[in-house]
Structure 1
């Protein structure tokens, strides 16, 4: 995406449709800098990492999990791409992860600043994804009874590191795991 502005993209986004393995309360939070401490949250799973910009397109980034040591040359550095956004209502994001098997998993999510998205806009965005790859199967995300409070220990962002060295953006992707029904799926 030409002309991408991360400062306009930061904040909370809700996945409306996704190929991610979970479809309950999926949300993305983009921070302008590193977060020092997260709240202990029992019902949410999440991963947190730094985004490094890849030039010349700033919307093409590399996701670095903060719990991994990337000095190992065999460790893959996943791509994270903002395919399209208007910054205020919708975004399409793409992530490519290399699995331990050597295969790649591609994840696409249609995001919204609210838990709902205009049906015509959603249809337009799904069609755009379908035109690029007909093999991606988007699933609707259930946002019923989700608790969307900030994962940051201080919700007023006092917990965000404020120095020029750590100005790269960070992201959390969070979800609630669905319980498997008794007797299997």
Structure 2
């Protein structure tokens, strides 16, 4: 009984020391929470208006707004209008299309597919690429994204609502790609 009490007393005294050594030991640069997902040393992001190579001119500002909102909601970055920010996220809409999938007997479209394709490039102030599509570095740092949305006009859906859904999903995918590789 006395022996068990002495062992217990020694363990109770050693437990705080072991806990302190364990917490002080470990990786000094270890990050946790939302900060662990994104590159270190980047606090501000400049998001210029998305360039648009299509005839649907409203898509550029819509995508810019969606990307800024997504960055503010999901990251700790500060989005700034200053081109001298820590990093710059450039996005270009390269294509958009609308395709009829099924038609009614009167040749009215019943179901359509709306598609948007973009290229995104995120670089640091000194030109270093921060967004990587693969583990193997490539000469072209821009990453291609595409998003399709199916919509049904008979159900009250329009090409504009479908494009907004596609833009919101593209913005989420672009910001997800900003996360560091494990």
TM over 0.5: no
TM-score (norm 1): 0.26
Structure with the largest fraction of strand: 1
